[in-house]
Structure formats: structure tokens, C-alpha cells
């Protein structure tokens, strides 16, 4: 019994010192998102192409035939927008339901391939690929390099403790003359709400990407009067910020 208590105290100490993951880190990160798709609680899904692409698309897509990554893509219409413009689009999504619905709703002929950590949905013409797996199971050897990244709801969705691993993955897949467009939100978290979408200060973005990227704010929208921001999340203020990241050198 003494040894059991000593072991328990050791585990608690390691967790406090962040040498072992907390329970939240050990659970399957995909479970909550799977439940929300099944229960149709997908308030982040938009019925139109994102405003940032309409306003700043030419800065992201500097040439025809770009290869674009959309992490944590869901069934975003943004991917169809890229695809219809003639680009090659690669999405990553942990839940199969929105991937299947995307190909079905847009009537895109496709095949499904299996790989060790998940499935790959691929259009017959090879210009649209969607990986169904845990994002952190992928790497540059699997994904290849990308001319552009559209990060609308990915960085703001992941756990704070995963941000460095996420940024490391994103930086590893960037082509030399990349363009990285991101939508982030900025607010002061309170006891009722801390995300997702999670607060991403510019200092955090600089810490994560500043070693390889120049970061430029393209647009800032005040979302403080939005019903969800004020009444559901009970935040005093929130800004939605569009940033463009380009090669530092």
C-alpha cells in the first residue's frame, strides 16, 4: 500500500511539472469533434466562401495552379472555391463524416485509399485530396510541400499545448516561396469561455512562426457586437484578424 501511495504521488508530481500529460492531453482529441458533427453542432461551418479569401485571395494565390493545404478543413466551401479555380487542394480532417459529405454534396467522383493512420479521399482527377486522420500523424514525407496554406479554423481550434507541434508541422511543409493566410481571433478569455476558437495574440503568432515568416496584418474586424460573442461567450470584446505570412528571407 505504501508503494502504491508513493507511485500515485509521483504521477501527480510529474503532471504538475508537465513531465507527463494531463488527462485532457491523453484523451482522444477527436472525440469531441466527432460528437459535434454527429449532433450537427457545427457553428464554425460557413455556408459561403470565407470573406478573407474574397478580400485577399490574390495575395495567397500568386500564380495559377497552386498546391494548397487546408488543415482541419471540415467540409468547407473554401476548398471547392480553390478547386474550381484550378488549384490542387489538400485537406486534413479528423472526422470522416464531413469529408464524405463534402464529396457527396459536390458530386465529385473519388476513390478512398487506406494508409496506416487513416483514409485518403481523392478525386479521380487527383486535384482534391482529403486526409481523414489525426493531423499529428502526418508529416512532410506524406503530405509533400505546399505553395499556400489557408488556416481558417485550425490554429484557433487546437489545444494550446499542441501549438508548437502544429507550427513545426506547418513550417515543414512550406515551399520556398510560400504564402500562408490565417484567420485568428483575439480576446481576453474569461471563466465562461476560453475557446475554441482560442485567443491567438500576435506575440504568440510571432513566437510560433517568426523564425521563418514575416507576419503582416491584412484586416481586423471588430466582432464585439456579435450575439454569440456577447451573450453566449460573455466576452467584452473580440477581434477577428486576417494575417498573411510570407518567407522571412
Summarised one tens digit per residue, pLDDT across range 188-235 is 999 989 989 999 999 999 999 999 999 999 999 999 999 989 999 999
Checking if the pLDDT of 9 tops 60, the result is no
Residues 199 and 155: their CA atoms lie apart, in Å, by: 10
> pLDDT, tens digit, for every residue of 19-37?
444 434 434 666 666 666 5
Residues 148 and 10: their CA atoms lie apart, in Å, by: 46
- Cβ atoms of 127 and 64 within 8 Å: the answer is no
Between 4 and 184, the more confident residue is: 184
- Cβ atoms of 60 and 82 within 8 Å: the answer is no
Residues 41 and 31: their CA atoms lie apart, in Å, by: 13
Cα Rg of the chain (Å, integer): 19
| Residue 146 bridge partners (DSSP) | 174
* Helix (H) / strand (E) containing 240: strand 239-247
Residues 80 and 86: their CA atoms lie apart, in Å, by: 10
- Cβ atoms of 132 and 121 within 8 Å: the answer is yes
Max Cα-Cα span within the chain: 68
Give the sheet arrangement for strand 128-132, strand by strand: 110-115, 118-123, 128-132, 88-93, 67-71, 146-151, 174-186, 239-247, 213-222
How does DSSP classify residue 144? -
- Cβ atoms of 223 and 156 within 8 Å: the answer is no
Residues 188 and 179: their CA atoms lie apart, in Å, by: 29
pLDDT at residue 85, rounded to an integer:
97
For 139, phi then psi, to 5°, come to -155, 180
Span 3-8, mean pLDDT?
49
pTM of the model: 0.85
pLDDT at residue 27, rounded to an integer:
45
Three-state secondary-structure class, residue 109: coil
> pLDDT, tens digit, for every residue of 73-119?
989 999 999 999 999 999 999 899 999 999 999 999 999 999 999 99
Amino acid at each position: 500500500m505504501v508503494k502504491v501511495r508513493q507511485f500515485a504521488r509521483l504521477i501527480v508530481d510529474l503532471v504538475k511539472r508537465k513531465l507527463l500529460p494531463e488527462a485532457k492531453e491523453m484523451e482522444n482529441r477527436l472525440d469531441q469533434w466527432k460528437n459535434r458533427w454527429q449532433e450537427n453542432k457545427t457553428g464554425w461551418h460557413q455556408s459561403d466562401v470565407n470573406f478573407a479569401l474574397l478580400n485577399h485571395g490574390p495575395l495567397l494565390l500568386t500564380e495559377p495552379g497552386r498546391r494548397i493545404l487546408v488543415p482541419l478543413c471540415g467540409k468547407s466551401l473554401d476548398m471547392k472555391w480553390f478547386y474550381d479555380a484550378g488549384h490542387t487542394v489538400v485537406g486534413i480532417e479528423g472526422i470522416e463524416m464531413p469529408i464524405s459529405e463534402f464529396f457527396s454534396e459536390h458530386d465529385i467522383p473519388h476513390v478512398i485509399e487506406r494508409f496506416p493512420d487513416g483514409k485518403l479521399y481523392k478525386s479521380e482527377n487527383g486535384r482534391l485530396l482529403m486526409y481523414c486522420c489525426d493531423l499529428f500523424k502526418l508529416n512532410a514525407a506524406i503530405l509533400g510541400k505546399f505553395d499556400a496554406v489557408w488556416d481558417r479554423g485550425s490554429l484557433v481550434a487546437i489545444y494550446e499545448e499542441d501549438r508548437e507541434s502544429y507550427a513545426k508541422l506547418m513550417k515543414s511543409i512550406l515551399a520556398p516561396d510560400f504564402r500562408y493566410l490565417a484567420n485568428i481571433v483575439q480576446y481576453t478569455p474569461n471563466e465562461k469561455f476560453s475557446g475554441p476558437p482560442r485567443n491567438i495574440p500576435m506575440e504568440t503568432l510571432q513566437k510560433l512562426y517568426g523564425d521563418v515568416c514575416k507576419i503582416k496584418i491584412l484586416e481586423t474586424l471588430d466582432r464585439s457586437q456579435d450575439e454569440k460573442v456577447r451573450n453566449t461567450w460573455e466576452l467584452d470584446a473580440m477581434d477577428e484578424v486576417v494575417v498573411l505570412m510570407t518567407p522571412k528571407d
